[in-house]
Amino acid sequence: MKKIKLDSISVGYLTETVIKNLSLEIEEGEFVGIFGPNGAGKTTLLCAINGLAIVKKGRVFIDSEELNIFSENRFRRIIGYVPQHFNVDPKLPVLAEDVVYMGCYGKIGLFKFPGKKENQLAYKISTLLEIEPLLKKPFGQLSGGERKRVLIARALMKEPEILLLDEIFAWLDIKMMEKVLIILKDIHKKKHLTTILVSHDIETVKTLCSRIIWMENGGLIFDGKKEAFLKKIEAE
């Protein structure tokens, strides 16, 4: 369980600044939804927490330790991240199984083989997400929904303390969406993970999250409980 603090951060990529002077605190064990239109800065916010974007100003803290070039690799070992996009050339010999096991290499070491514990965890997660028939298939040849489930499995293989989820229901059919909703609720309840879910869909964030942050143009226009968020949406 980890607390996240963003202290007046401005974040971007090379010459572009997407997030400007944003401050935010997320308590350990919270399930927070980041809502807003495309281009609002939602994905960039996750990348700042995960050390994947350039923090041009301000500081990011995990608990009381600052995220920087010295600590980012260590923090990534405890952060499970499901990106919105993860493209692989269909011709590359990367199996879905390989992608799932990528989640545990930060803990066991890059050049070590997964042991009994990792194999049991991979089997449990793969069964839960119904991806066992996909494991020996090339990841680049899977459908969008199949890739998404494999990426969720990869994140859970880390046994993370922080879970970052970026538009995870994109490409999933209704039946699988409902299943993943139940899985995420159950994992959050049992593990008390600090979880941040990015979505542009109101139904998704209000179903899963008790606190919702509304972003537009790289800044916050609302941060509060779900009930207050729904009233604000109705008033817009």
Domain chopping of the chain, boundaries: 1-78+161-236, 87-159
Whole-number Å distance between alpha carbons of 210 and 153: 24
Closest CA to 192 of 167, 216, 163: 163
pLDDT digits 0-9 by tens, 194-212:
999 999 889 899 899 999 9
Question: Under CATH, what is the fold of the domain 1-78+161-236?
Answer: Rossmann fold (3.40.50)
pLDDT (tens place) for every residue of the chain, 236 residues total: 589 999 999 998 888 899 999 999 999 999 999 999 989 999 999 999 999 999 999 999 999 899 998 898 889 899 999 998 877 777 788 999 999 999 998 888 777 888 999 999 999 999 999 999 999 999 999 999 999 999 999 999 999 999 999 999 988 889 999 999 999 999 998 988 999 999 988 989 989 999 999 999 999 999 999 999 988 888 87
Pairing outcome for strands 65-66 and 79-82: unpaired
Chain centroid to CA 77: 13
Q: How far is CA 56 from CA 11, 59, 94, in A?
A: 6, 9, 35
Whole-number Å distance between alpha carbons of 19 and 48: 10
